[in-house]
Amino acid sequence: MNRLLEDLKISAQEEGPLGPYIGAYAAHLLSEGYARRSSRLKIRLVGGFSRWLNEKSVAANKAVVQHTVDYLPYCKRCGYRLGLGDSAALLRLLKLLQDQGVIAQRALSAATTPSERLVEEYNAFLQKERALSLATRINYVPFVQQFLSVRFGKGPVALSCLRAADITGFVRRHAGQLNGKRVQQMTTALRSFLRFGRHRGDITLDMAACVPTVASWSLSTLPKSLPPANVKQVLAHCNRKTAVGRRDYAILMLLARLSLRAGEVVHLTLEDIDWENGLITVQGKGGRLSQLPLPADVGAAIVAYLKHGRPRVPNNRRLFPDPACAVDPREKVLAGFGSGS
């Protein structure tokens, strides 16, 4: 975490009223298993939000949801291409401030329409009755809010008036705009909400059964694993006479022989390999560390890459640093928020 903050050159003085809490936010992201690159983008977003609050003379304990709602259009006007998780990242920050007692519970309430108030009740139900995690609720709630806004607008919400066509029409209109995983999240969220409506007594029929099942074709996504023969073919196609080929071969050996996830490979550092004892330390989901034996052939592939393939990147201890230290263009825009540009 310290290296992440140092990379971003974050200080409480230059990051506005939220500066003292950005370190805790970074630690939260890493503990949740977010990749370093993704965490960096979210922290830069929060840094820009903090500078914007400073310009508005808003103290940390006065931050509310409406500020995040106002800030994102400002980002867009400044040329920042909004990501799907930007709103959730800012809400996660406010939740952290609430948990630390910086802002009051009521500050997170921004419901002004009947549909927004119902969504708040649904979110509380998921948290208290279903014990669903914050990440799951953040995935569900926007779909439900969008569905209610489309069907009822800002007027009264009468779930008893819902018809099967309302539900199937919404899914058909929006499924084509989402990837496979997000489509599944949308349909799951709608079923969950409609069961909630029946639990409240607002719906008497099983409207959840009206949510259409979106096909997930067997070849529509990448296969979860390859047969051993195919793995050998992939490894054989790495040109180990080049630096890129040696890097690719080392990464593929880690994936194939140790069954590591892509994110676990990305998090590997030079210090994670214990050459003397033949061990490798892997950081899994939630920041959990585990030691695995380092097979000789995997170690040999890594050695060849370190000697003749790894780029020389000062102060970068990643085993596989980003090629050419590429910078996401969104980071450049966010970095300029506090520079007066």
Q: Give domain status of residue 136, yes or no.
A: yes
Distance of alpha carbon 2 from alpha carbon 23, whole angstroms: 8
Distance of alpha carbon 109 from alpha carbon 36, whole angstroms: 31
Q: What is the CATH number of the domain that holds 198?
A: 1.10.150
pLDDT at 329 over 80: no
Q: At what angle do helices 180-200 and 164-175 cross, to 10 degrees?
A: 160
Q: Give domain status of residue 274, yes or no.
A: yes
- Same-domain status, 121 and 193: yes
Sheet holding 279-283, edge to edge: 273-274, 279-283, 289-293
In the structure encoding, which two tokens stand for residue 42, read together?
């979210």
The 10s digit of each residue's pLDDT in 236-263 is: 989 999 999 999 999 999 988 888 888 8
Where b means 16+ CB within 10 Å and e means fewer, 232-245 reads eeeeeebebeeeeb
Residue that terminates a domain, selected from 210, 239, 260: 210
More confident residue, 312 or 190: 190
- Residue range 133-147: mean pLDDT, rounded: 82
Q: Lowest-confidence range among 179-183, 274-278, 336-340? A: 336-340
Return all residues near 240 (Cβ < 8 A) that are at least 6 apart. 246, 249, 304
∠ CA 293-244-327, nearest 5°, is 95
Q: Which of 4-13, 74-83, 111-120, 322-331 has the highest mean pLDDT?
A: 111-120
Q: Lowest-confidence range among 138-147, 275-284, 329-338? A: 329-338
Q: What is the mean pLDDT of the chain?
A: 79
∠ CA 287-46-4, nearest 5°, is 40
- Same-domain status, 26 and 93: yes
pLDDT at 108 over 60: no
Domain interval for residue 96: 2-108+331-339
Q: Lowest-confidence range among 6-20, 147-161, 232-246, 307-321? A: 6-20
- Same-domain status, 100 and 139: no
pLDDT at 86: 78
pLDDT at 225: 63
- Same-domain status, 189 and 235: no
Residue that terminates a domain, selected from 180, 210, 240: 210
- Same-domain status, 190 and 270: no
The 10s digit of each residue's pLDDT in 213-227 is: 876 544 455 555 667
On whether the CB atoms of residues 21 and 60 are closer than 8 A, the answer is: yes
Q: Give domain status of residue 215, yes or no.
A: no
Q: Residue 125 is which amino acid?
A: F
- Residue range 164-175: mean pLDDT, rounded: 88
More confident residue, 219 or 206: 206
Q: Residue 170 is which amino acid?
A: F
Distance of alpha carbon 12 from alpha carbon 225, whole angstroms: 45
Q: Lowest-confidence range among 51-55, 293-297, 328-332? A: 328-332
pLDDT at 187: 92
Q: Give domain status of residue 277, yes or no.
A: yes
Q: Give domain status of residue 275, yes or no.
A: yes
How many domains does the structure of the chain reveal? 3
CA neighbor of 93 nearest in space, from 82, 78, 108: 108
Q: Lowest-confidence range among 223-227, 267-271, 296-300? A: 223-227
CA dihedral 12, 88, 7, 318 (to 10 degrees): 150
% of the chain at pLDDT higher than 70: 79
Residue owning tokens 């802002």: 103
pLDDT at 290: 84
Measured from the Cβ of residue 330, the count of other Cβ atoms closer than 10 Å reads 18
CA neighbor of 337 nearest in space, from 74, 142, 158, 87: 74
| pLDDT band at 32; cut points 50, 70, 90 | low
- Same-domain status, 100 and 123: no
- Same-domain status, 21 and 92: yes
% of the chain at pLDDT higher than 90: 20
- Same-domain status, 24 and 119: no
CA neighbor of 214 nearest in space, from 180, 244, 170, 191: 180
pLDDT at 147: 92
pLDDT at 280 over 90: yes
pLDDT at 141 over 90: no
pLDDT at 20 over 60: yes
pLDDT at 161 over 80: yes
Per DSSP, the residues of 227-258 read -HHHHHHHHHTS-TTSHHHHHHHHHHHHHHHH
- Same-domain status, 103 and 14: yes
pLDDT at 297: 93
pLDDT at 189: 92
On whether the CB atoms of residues 142 and 188 are closer than 8 A, the answer is: no
- The model's pTM: 0.42
On whether the CB atoms of residues 43 and 90 are closer than 8 A, the answer is: no
Q: In a 3-state reduction of DSSP, which class is residue 280?
A: strand
More confident residue, 332 or 321: 321
In the structure encoding, which two tokens stand for residue 58, read together?
């808003």
| pLDDT band at 271; cut points 50, 70, 90 | very high
